[in-house]
């Protein structure tokens, strides 16, 4: 079940790498949007009853037999349509124009000349101006379908932007959704507001109210159980559900002893003290550390933690008499069914840990109130619900916790060393005002010892690696560049204050080829 939105835009996905960004830009313009793969676009269209359609890019070519098409219903609906890149090509092809295989293509930065006005350019681009855009295409439109005119041109694309004002169809060869098209967000906002005539009133307050009504309708008088991980997503989901159904919700926090310094206390005091939400706090440190003893292989550690987490959670759920629903903080990027043109399952790099499998085993239905939101929208909803900023703005933290930041065997002693060093590192990052500029920062305790000299004595102790990355979604990342004296200061503090560490290094690897976590 999903919330009914008064104003919405359907994005038909043809498999572009950047389709999610179109949804982001439309939501930034204040209109709710959803992505549907072209294969299920017809159903999504009937369910959503949108006021406008956007067609995404694609790695495919319209000239290839069997390549994706826009469902005819969408053209028959009379609604405004915006085609982007492949979207422009398939629109042109399906409406009777001509697309040819480009002999060279245009990739990267390009400039378009505005030759005529149109609703997309309102208040933004004037005739005679030149504007920077980001192109990525091989094929191109060579003859327009009836009723279209070219309103912007580029050296590689004579039909860089085209318009059919009567039908309210617009299309562009470049990608307005990426930041390398500086006016792209405003072009998309013009489509949503000026062409589709939407008011753009989608706010988090509206979302919160609608979601609460939806949760009440879904759950009725049933009981809901929610696993808290200590992270933002499950906390926001729990607070929202509690606002909807109060005491029908019980939260279970399985404390595996692999949390950062003070983190478990923070979760418990926030839920019990601040929100007065029923919370079962299971201290399972001994169980987890006992089972991790002797395990050194990263996947073996991950699998043990995942399995044990589910067992403990299940036991606790039974103790409180079971539940009809399991609440999870699943986000939109996890539910988008992206279209694959290469086929075949992708390689498992790391088995991510979650509570998968539980709902069937315990005969529970899922409540996933965040499944339409992106990470930063979840943070905004958290603030809207009154969660403290320090909690909402937290860096992501992996389910298996510190265990995957201690390559080799995990022991209580090594967890304690890492916790102390990590706390110093994060404190310095906060003091320097850098916390929010970083996607994730943490320390890794290496299974390596090095020789040092402290006072007049020799030391032979642990080596620590510091990691900090910037990223937008965790899929790719680059190492954060700290100002000159920052890292030496942190290294000195850690070696002086944390017994057991005598050397500190910094990890400059980006993802790919590295990953963010070390295991
Ligand atoms: P990697 O290391 O794969 O991490 O580059 C990408 C992002 O995912 C987080 N991560 C996890 N999160 N369970 C989680 O909930 C996991 O098992 C897990 N492993 C990695 C990681 O912290 C980063 O944000």
Q: Give me the pLDDT at residue 3, please.
A: 58
Closest CA to 506 of 449, 432, 446: 446
Q: Classify 207-392 by CATH class.
A: alpha beta
Pinpoint the residues of the chain covered by CATH 3.30.300.10: 411-506
Buried (b) or exposed (e) across 370-387, using 16+ Cβ within 10 A?
bbbbbbebbbbbbbbbeb
Q: Give me the pLDDT at residue 1, please.
A: 46
**Is 229 known as a binding-site position?**
yes
Q: For domain 8-195, is the CATH number 3.40.50.880?
A: yes
Q: Give me the pLDDT at residue 493, please.
A: 98
Confidence band (pLDDT; 50, 70, 90) for 351?
confident
Pinpoint the residues of the chain covered by CATH 3.40.50.620: 207-392
User: Hey, which of 232, 348, 352 would you mutate to test ligand 1's pocket, going by the most ligand atoms within 8 Å of its Cβ?
Assistant: 352
Q: Give me the pLDDT at residue 337, please.
A: 60
**Is 235 known as a binding-site position?**
yes
Average pLDDT for 271-282: 92
Give dist(CA 94, CA 82) in Å, integer: 14
Question: H or E stretch including 251?
Answer: strand 249-255
396-441: pLDDT as tens digits: 999 999 999 999 999 999 999 999 999 999 999 999 999 999 999 9
217-264: pLDDT as tens digits: 999 999 999 999 888 999 999 999 999 999 999 999 999 999 999 999
Return the structure tokens found at 86: 């492949």
Is the C-beta atom of 330 inside 6 A of ligand 1? Answer: no
Nearest residue (CA) to ligand 1, atom 4: 516
pLDDT of residue 346 exceeding 60, the answer is no
**Other CB atoms within 10 A of residue 483 CB:** 8
User: Hey, which of 443, 474, 509 would you mutate to test ligand 1's pocket, going by the most ligand atoms within 8 Å of its Cβ?
Assistant: 474
pLDDT of residue 316 exceeding 70, the answer is yes
Distance from Cα 515 to the centre of ligand 1, integer Å: 9
Distance from Cα 352 to the centre of ligand 1, integer Å: 7
pLDDT of residue 17 exceeding 90, the answer is no
Q: CA 384, 389, 392, 393 torsion: positive or negative?
A: positive
Which pTM value belongs to this model? 0.81
Is the C-beta atom of 400 inside 6 A of ligand 1? Answer: yes
Q: Classify 411-506 by CATH class.
A: alpha beta
**What amino acid positions are annotated as catalytic residues?**
85, 175, 177
CB 36 within 8 A of CB 13: yes
- Ligand 1 atom index nearest CA of 439: 24
pLDDT of residue 16 exceeding 60, the answer is yes
pLDDT of residue 492 exceeding 80, the answer is yes
CB 26 within 8 A of CB 11: yes
Is the C-beta atom of 352 inside 6 A of ligand 1? Answer: yes
């Amino acid at each position: 079940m999903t919330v009914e939105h008064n104003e919405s835009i359907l994005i038909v996905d043809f498999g572009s790498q950047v389709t999610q960004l179109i949804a982001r830009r439309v939501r930034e313009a204040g209109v709710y949007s959803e992505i549907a793969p072209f294969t299920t676009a017809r159903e999504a269209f009937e369910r959503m009853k949108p006021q406008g359609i956007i067609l995404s890019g694609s790695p495919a070519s319209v000239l290839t037999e069997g390549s994706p098409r826009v469902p005819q219903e969408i053209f028959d609906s009379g609604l405004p349509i915006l085609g982007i890149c492949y979207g422009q090509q398939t629109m042109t092809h399906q409406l009777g124009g001509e697309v040819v295989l480009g002999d060279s293509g245009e990739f990267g930065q390009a400039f378009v000349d505005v030759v005529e006005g149109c609703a997309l350019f309102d208040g933004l681009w004037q005739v005679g101006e030149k504007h920077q855009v980001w192109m990525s295409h091989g094929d191109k439109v060579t003859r327009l379908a009836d009723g279209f005119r070219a309103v912007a041109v580029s050296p590689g694309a004579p039909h860089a932007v085209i318009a059919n004002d009567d039908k309210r169809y617009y299309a562009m060869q470049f990608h307005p959704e990426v930041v390398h098209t500086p006016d792209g967000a405003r072009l998309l906002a013009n489509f949503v507001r000026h062409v589709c005539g939407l008011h753009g009133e989608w706010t988090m307050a509206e979302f919160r109210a609608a979601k609460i009504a939806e949760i009440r309708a879904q759950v009725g008088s049933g009981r809901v159980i929610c696993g808290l991980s200590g992270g933002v997503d499950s906390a926001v989901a729990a607070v929202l559900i509690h606002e909807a159904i109060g005491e029908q919700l019980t939260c279970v926090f399985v404390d595996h002893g692999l949390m950062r310094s003070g983190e478990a206390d923070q979760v418990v005091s926030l839920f019990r003290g601040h929100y007065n939400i029923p919370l079962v706090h299971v201290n399972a440190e001994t169980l987890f550390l006992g089972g991790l003893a002797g395990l050194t292989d990263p996947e073996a550690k991950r699998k043990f933690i995942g399995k044990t987490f589910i067992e403990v959670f299940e036991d606790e759920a039974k103790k409180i008499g079971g539940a009809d629903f399991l609440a999870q903080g699943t986000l939109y990027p996890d539910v988008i069914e992206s279209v694959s043109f290469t086929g075949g399952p992708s390689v498992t790099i790391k088995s991510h840990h979650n509570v998968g499998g539980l709902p069937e085993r315990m005969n529970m239905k899922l409540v996933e109130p965040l499944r339409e939101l992106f990470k930063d929208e979840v943070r905004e909803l958290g603030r809207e619900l009154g969660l403290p900023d320090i909690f909402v703005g937290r860096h992501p933290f992996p389910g298996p916790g510190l265990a995957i930041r201690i390559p080799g065997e995990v022991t209580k002693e090594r967890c304690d060393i890492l916790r102390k060093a990590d706390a110093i590192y994060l404190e310095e990052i906060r003091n320097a005002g850098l916390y929010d500029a970083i996607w994730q920062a943490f320390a890794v305790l290496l299974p390596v010892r090095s020789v040092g000299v402290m006072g007049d004595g020799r030391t032979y102790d642990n080596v620590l690696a510091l990691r900090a990355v910037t990223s937008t979604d965790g899929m790719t990342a680059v190492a954060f560049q700290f100002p000159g004296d920052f890292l030496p200061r942190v290294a000195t503090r850690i070696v002086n204050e944390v017994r057991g560490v005598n050397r500190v290094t910094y990890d400059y690897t980006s993802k790919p080829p590295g990953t963010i976590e070390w295991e």
